[in-house]
Each structure stands twice: as structure tokens, then as C-alpha cells.
Amino acid sequence: MRSLGIVRKVDHLGRIVIPKELRNTLKLEKGAPMEIFVDDDMIILRKYVVDSACIVTGDITPDNKRLSNGMYLSPEGAEILKKEIEQRKTWE
């Protein structure tokens, strides 16, 4: 991760303004959905991309796999489906 040397203060409502130059570079339009992650003492913002969200959990991870029908599945989503399939086998 690289530092851009940009510092912004959190306002009284907890908001931080992303500089216009950075919004333009990342092609962030007004109202663009952002995903928020926490890693130790870091807050990470990422453009929310619905296309790669897991169909089961809604998570977007680098480990999500694209299925043949164009949908994505996360490792956690795969485990949930696997357990459900195993449970259904015992119902029969």
C-alpha cells in the first residue's frame, strides 16, 4: 500500500472527504457504493462491485470464484452450500 501524503479530518458526523483528484482517478461517481474493511488499525475503502459478490454471502473477496453461469462464489459460500447439500442428502 502506498501513501499519497493526503490527510483529511473526520467531521462531527464521522465523514471523510475523498479528494476530487482521487475520485476522478478511481472513477468514483457521486453516490458510488463503497465497501469498508478493517485490518488491524487500518480502514480500507474499495469500490463495491456487485458482479463479483458471492451469491450466497454477498462477500467480495479475492478468493471468489466465477461459476460457469457468471455468478461468483466465495470460499465461505461454498462451505455453506456444501453443508446444505449434505444435510439434504440425509432428508431423503
**Residue 84: strand, helix, or coil:** helix
pLDDT in tens, 23-43: 999 899 998 889 899 999 999
Specify whether the backbone of 5 is left (phi greater than 0), alpha (psi in -120 to 50) or beta: left
Mean pLDDT, to the nearest integer, of 51-67?
89
Query: Which contiguous run of DSSP H or E holds residue 86?
Result: helix 75-91
The conformation of residue 54, written as its DSSP 8-state character, comes to: B
Q: What confidence tier does 92 reach under pLDDT thresholds 50, 70, 90? A: low
Interatomic CA distance for residues 69 and 51, integer angstroms: 12
pLDDT at 62 over 70: yes
Q: Compare 33 and 49 and report the one with higher pLDDT.
A: 33
**Residue 37: strand, helix, or coil:** strand
